[in-house]
Amino acid sequence: MKLWVIRHAKSSWADQNQTDFERPLNERGLRDAPRMQAWLAKQSHLPQWIVSSDALRTRQTSIFIHAALVPTTPLLFDNRLYLPTLHDMFDLLAETPAEITSLALISHNPASTHIINSLVGSAVINNLPTFGIARLTIKNSWDQISEGTGTLDVLVSPKTI
């Protein structure tokens, strides 16, 4: 099985009256999106499902990710991915139907970095950058996923492609 862990694109801090949840993408995030979208569209094992945080910046990022996939790919929003704990992410993964063999989670840091390192079983990355995309191979079924059951296949960001 394949798990895509995606951190939202660069967001704006321009409006100090906005809550963290309401922050949109900034110009750089919007500029990086087409490049990341084009890269993703060329990859193998594309996500059959996308589950995204419901914060504005992740919803906006998920729309770019969704556009790179088959139009019928479900795009789901789940508040548990807004500032999640590792436990929240494992619970969400365990709920994934068995027939889904490739899933994308779009979330925030530090949780995105933590889930990658936890699944690999060691600190393979220090920080998943904004609009960073990691693809992992998962050895177990979604309902049996646990620490150390994955390997990191791909890690990219707007600066590396």
Query: What's the number of domains the chain is made of?
Result: 1
Quickly count: other Cβ atoms within 10 Å of residue 32's Cβ: 22
Residue span of the structural domain in which 23 resides: 2-12+19-156
The answer to whether position 56 is within a domain reads yes
The answer to whether position 161 is within a domain reads no
Q: What is the mean pLDDT of the chain?
A: 96
43-89 confidence digits (pLDDT tens) = 999 999 999 999 999 999 999 999 999 888 999 999 999 999 999 99
CATH number at 145 reads 3.40.50.1240
The answer to whether position 124 is within a domain reads yes
At 28, which helix (H) or strand (E)? helix 27-41
Residue 114 has pLDDT above 90, yes or no: yes
45 torsion bin: left (phi>0), alpha (psi -120 to 50), beta (else): left
The answer to whether position 48 is within a domain reads yes
Mean pLDDT of 25-39: 96
pLDDT band at 141 (very low <50, low <70, confident <90, very high): very high
- What percentage of the chain carries pLDDT values higher than 70? 100
Quote the pLDDT of residue 72: 86
Residue 120 has pLDDT above 90, yes or no: yes
Please tell me the distance from the alpha carbon of residue 47 to that of residue 6, in angstroms, as a whole number: 11
